[in-house]
Structure 1
Amino acid sequence: MLKKLLAGIMLCGGLATQCYAQLPPKREMRAVWIASVGNIDWPSRKGLPAGQQKQELMNMLDDIVRDGMNAVFFQVRPAADALYASSYEPWSEYLSGSQGRPPEPYYDPLQFAIEESHKRGLELHAWFNPYRAVMNTRSNVLAPNHISRLRPQWFLQYGDQKLFDPGLPEVRDYFTQIIRDVVKRYDVDGIHFDDYFYPYRIAGKEFPDNPSYRIYGRNMNKDDWRRWNVDTLMHQVSIAIKAEKPWVKFGISPFGVWRNRDRDPEGSNTRGGMTNYDDLYADILKWSRSGWIDYATPQLYWEFGHRLVGYEVLVNWWSQHAYGRHMYPGLAVYKIGESGAWRNPREMLNQINANRSLPTVQGSVFFRARSFDSNPLGIRDSLRNHLYKYPALIPTMPWLDNTPPMPPYFIDAFEKSSGLELHWADDDTTGQTTRYVIYRFGEKEVVNLNDPTKIAAIVPQMPDPMWVDPKYVPGTHFVYFVTALDRLQNESLASDALRMQTVNGRTKFLFE
């Protein structure tokens, strides 16, 4: 498998146009992280008026759609704070500039982000940091209702940060409540955690969890106990999410190395200085095997040929450890143009093509949104004009739901100065349908609904569904089909065809 992957990447690197000529996948996760911590993506700075915050986010989402993406991972809890209306935690300082103060004029950023994302056909996964409570205890000014003030016994100081103690049952219950509350009140498509479980190690400094270990250690060695704590939180959260809304996805973005092979024969052939299992106490493979999570997004932020952690080694390893769940490698857009291999404009394109070449990898996720702004080495042009030129549906998750909605049917068509106005309807009374896919073919083309280049539009569900085809001009004979999608991207059977016939110089529409 690895030799085939390398051969494919070499072909793509040397003959990029051949890669572009291949038919792109019809289904592929194409997501981007929108980070709020430190205002690195959104909002651009603290204290912006609500109107500017909204406009920045709308502009960002418009660019994300133009880049060919179909999902965003939106950070809503950087450090026991909230970019949404929470009765548990204070408003994030990254909004107003002062923790605990809401945006002015008031609005709910998460609700706004969901609405604007869904208008544009994007999934929104709410991104949480589980254990981080205070980014910097020397400089952060905490609101009176910050949980570290109300429950100081739950927290440990490590370096400049204050962290929840993962060994405390009360901490697990509290965080599960946080997640359950968001899933219950907001129309999120997914819940997403990043790689910060137990903290990244500080040289010569042990994480100070001996008190909770003495009380709750379960006669386990400390490393196994720490993994048990994280496992228990993950299982608890997974159950809570599905109890509230079975369709909400749960995904993790782990550090890129699970374990090195010199520590475990199941590990990757790498020499990473840190690993999920041994340093962050996150046994991501167990969570996938157990069905607690729906997808993994390992942060593979290294280049092909890296002497310790080569991209080709890691993407191949993760592809073999998906256990039937989705795998979307995380890619380092922020590194493009920096040095070495990252000065090669093909590096990122080769990584995307590598992901596409593996049958158990269903897409890519990019860190992070603002990194695209300067179009480093033309990455934005490459996505818009080549790799992501055509839309892609998000891959289905049959273990959550595999029942498609009712098929729609065309009811009318009108020639307008702006193009051909199509109208359709369906008999879905269950509310399953969330959007529609319009396919357009030339009159004599072979109909292939698996060809994404024939997707003319993906249209949100509306009371009287319609779409105007701007490519239609009188006298052209297209053939159209429409299908329905539910919120888990299950696709209905196709409608009957809408065809055209010219009779006495006039176009007649045939609903077959």
Structure 2
Amino acid sequence: MKKHLLLLFGAVALAFSVAADSPKRELRATWLASVSNIDWPKSTETAAQQQASLIEILDGMQAARMNVVYLQVRPMCDALYQSAYEPWSQFLTGTRGKDPGYDPLAFAIGEAHKRGMELYAWINPYRYESVKNMHGADDPIRKNHPEWLLEYSSSYILDPGNPEVASYLVDVLRDIITHYNVDGLIFDDYFYPYEGTTNEDAYSQGLYKPAGKNVGDWRRESVNKLIADIYSMIQETKPTVKFGIGPFGIWGGPQSVATAYGIDYLNTSGGTSAYSQLYCDGVAWLKEKSIDFISPQCYWPSFNTKPWGYKTLVPWWAGVAEVMERHFYSSMRVSTMPQSGPQRKSILQRLHMTENEYNSLSMVERSVAATAAQGTEECGFEVDMNRSTDLLGAPGHVFFNTTQFFSYGLADYLAEEKFTQPALTPLMSWKTPQTLPEITEITLSGNTLSWRADGADETMRYAIYYVPSRVAYNSATYEKSAYLQRVTWETSADVSSCTQSGYYFVVTAIDAAGNESEPYIKTPSGIQAVETDALTIYGVPGAVCISAPEATMVSIHTIAGQLMHEVQVEPGTTEVALPAGFYLVNGQKIIVQ
């Protein structure tokens, strides 16, 4: 059976072998879940084993050309980092409060940055216990602030309506961004519980809800205020940090609210409503500019014909993001094989199997076969849709969860078919740009390229390009990903894969918001910066190349002053064939070999 399944994987890979364009800028991430040890770490592992397994995960993500990891560092009012407020997570050692022997967040940041990936600290703001009393009676919050807790049928959460809780959460997050070089903070979908809230928050209603105020509006406003307070704290403390939320995918607000927000109304009646059931108003956060991006969990596949199916939900969120001028990065989960209908029949055809052959497989074998056939197709469709519906030049793809991302074969599929080149994360133009350092002393020693970037802080990162010399001085060359090799936070990199002759190494500096410096080119005669608004002229074997930002008249004379050519070059790079020799091109001395 193993041999048969390998053949199935091969057949499916061939069926989806057409590579798509790989944008220079897009977010590519996975949710790396620590809760219940879903992805990482495993509590039975030693510190060294946990570190080794994280490196293996990050190596796999780098090979798939991912550029962001959402690492869950506070799953249940606990910490996968040295917290001034909360105990070590039980998901590190099996015991809440037990020191794991190293700092997981600091280690993860360093290893992610080595591999050119941003790391966002994934926070669950309100979840306290998923099973009642799992933290014990002496846990600090339960012991010192029982009034902060809301009790539900099988769980406890921190009370979103209690201002003391909000103040505490702001302090917890300030502690993280003050002591760790995280690139972002991200919340997921856990706000008020999915089971619904009736009168569990009667205590805080009595103290804090204005008389006559609709309870749903009060709950949403309490959450909205926390989000706004966190964003303000970030701007005051470390404004380079990005802040986003990955809520339940169906917004579900009424038409009157959509109209007031200035967005198209999407009727999703019949589905769970984040707005009215979870008191989670993602559109309000975008409108109030209290988040930098939204990453809603669009977990319904393309063949779902409900109003919240992928084909409907993603274009709607993209439109909302455009109106609000903030980024939308779709959170995705590749669904399992459908059990009936045309989709199932077409998948069986791609597997070269009959219904009886499929039914004869074990449950494990069915899962493998279904994932191989339908998983990559659906994944590819969703990536393409994210790109095609993006209206801001900032597409994004976030996969839940990381374990399935690898076990379903999506990492290899994406690297081969969709993420064929590295990508920079999207530019956030509303964030204050940092001063970009000048790149100097670019040197190549063996397979190591190194450079200096005096004055750069810990948030600065660098892009390395390997560019044919004939287009190295054309600013348009750097608008696409074709020659982008990697991103790193260090001032050196292994470039052993760059072996073509006639190419130049080029380095740029990139700030936390995504602003990129002019390219600095390592040439035989030294380092040259590409001026994007100037005429660039250089000689190549048998020709002179002229890169112009706009249509320009160019005259070419011999060194003795005889006019050879007078041509109008169009925007971009124009090549004029010439015999070897010295020439004056618009007065600039050029050598043609």
Same fold (TM over 0.5): yes
- The DSSP-based 3-state class of the residue aligned with 1:453 is coil
Q: Distance in 1 between matches of 2:137 and 2:115?
A: 35
Decide whether the 8 Å contact of 2:181 with 2:458 is kept in 1.
no
Amino acid across the alignment from 2:141: I
CA distance in 2, matches of 1:34, 1:433: 22
**Residue type of the partner of 1:435?**
R
- Give the length in aligned residue pairs: 471
Structure 1 unaligned spans of 5+:
1-13, 503-509
Q: Is the 8 A contact 1:484 1:491 kept in 2?
A: yes
For the pair 1:364 / 2:397, whether they are aligned, the reply is: yes
Contact persistence 1:330–1:365 (CA under 8 A): yes
Tell me if structure 1 keeps the 8 A contact 2:77–2:86: yes
Shift of 1:307: 2.6
The answer to whether residue 473 in structure 2 is matched with residue 441 in structure 1 is: no
Q: Kindly indicate whether residue 117 of structure 2 is the aligned counterpart of residue 117 of structure 1.
A: no
Question: Deviation string for 1:352-408 (max 9, x for gaps)?
Answer: 01111122352111111111232x2x4222211121121000111121123561342
Partner of 2:330: 329
- 1:160-175 maps to which residues of 2 (within 5 A)? 160-175=154-169
What is the DSSP-based 3-state SS (H/G/I as helix, E as strand, rest coil) of the residue aligned with 1:356? helix
| Counterparts in 2 of 1:232 and 1:460: CA distance versus 1, 3 Å | closer
The one of 170, 173, 193 aligned to 1:179:
173
Contact 2:67 2:424 in 1 (8 A): yes
Give the aligned residue type for 2:298. L
Please say if residues 20 and 418 of structure 2, whose CA atoms lie closer than 8 Å, have aligned partners that are also in contact: no
The TM-score normalised by the length of structure 1 is 0.85
Which of 507, 512, 516 is residue 491 of structure 1 equivalent to? Answer: 516
Displacement of 1:26 in angstroms is 0.3
Q: Post-superposition shift, 1:32? A: 0.7
Q: How far does residue 17 in structure 1 lie from its aligned partner after superposition?
A: 5.1
> Are the structure 2 counterparts of residues 452 and 263 from structure 1 closer, same or farther at C-alpha, using a change threshold of 3 Å?
same
- 1:480 aligned to 2:505? yes
Q: Any idea what SS the aligned residue of 1:30 has?
A: strand
Which residues in structure 2 correspond to 1:55-454 (within 5 Å)? 55-103=52-100, 106-137=101-132, 140-142=134-136, 144-202=138-196, 206-219=198-211, 220-259=213-252, 266-308=264-306, 309-322=308-321, 323-333=324-334, 335-337=335-337, 344=374, 345-357=376-388, 358-360=390-392, 361-374=394-407, 376=408, 378-403=409-434, 405-409=436-440, 411-413=442-444, 416=446, 422-426=449-453, 428-431=454-457, 434-444=460-470, 447=474, 448-454=477-483
Equivalent residue letter for 1:355: N
Aligned-residue CA RMSD in angstroms? 2.7
Matched residue SS, 2:378: helix
CA distance 1:441–1:332, shift in 2 (3 Å):
same
The structure with the largest alpha-carbon Rg is: 2
Identity across matched positions, percent? 37
Unpaired stretches in structure 2, ≥5 consecutive residues: 1-13, 259-263, 344-370, 526-539, 542-590
Task: Say which SS state the counterpart of residue 460 (structure 2) adopts.
Answer: strand
8 Å Cα contact 1:433/1:484 also seen in 2? no
Change (3 A) 1:339 1:383: farther
The answer on whether the counterparts of 2:60 and 2:411 sit within 8 Å (CA) in structure 1 is no
2:402 is matched by which residue type in structure 1?
Answer: A
The one-letter code matched in structure 2 to 1:210 is A
User: What residue identity is the alignment partner of 2:79?
Assistant: A
Distance (Å, rounded) in 2 between the aligned partners of 1:306 and 1:470: 43
Q: 1:404 to 1:269 in 2, by over 3 A?
A: farther
Distance in 1 between residues matched to 2:137 and 2:208, nearest whole Å? 31
Q: Aligned equivalents of 1:72 and 1:348: distance in 2?
A: 18
| Alpha-carbon distance in 2 for matches of 1:56, 1:411 | 34
Deviation at 1:248, TM superposition (A): 0.7
* AA in 1 matched with 2:244: G
Query: In the alignment, is the contact (CA less than 8 A) between 1:329 and 1:364 conserved in 2?
Result: yes
Distance 2:444 2:39 in 1: 43
Q: What's the offset of the Cα at 1:466?
A: 5.5
Change (3 A) 1:232 1:262: closer
1:181 match: secondary structure: helix
Instruction: Give distance in 1, aligned partners of 2:154 and 2:145.
Output: 19
Task: Give the Å deviation of 1:176.
Answer: 1.2
Q: Deviations over 1:387-439 (max 9, x none)?
A: 1121000111121123561342454446x4xx5x544334x425377232222
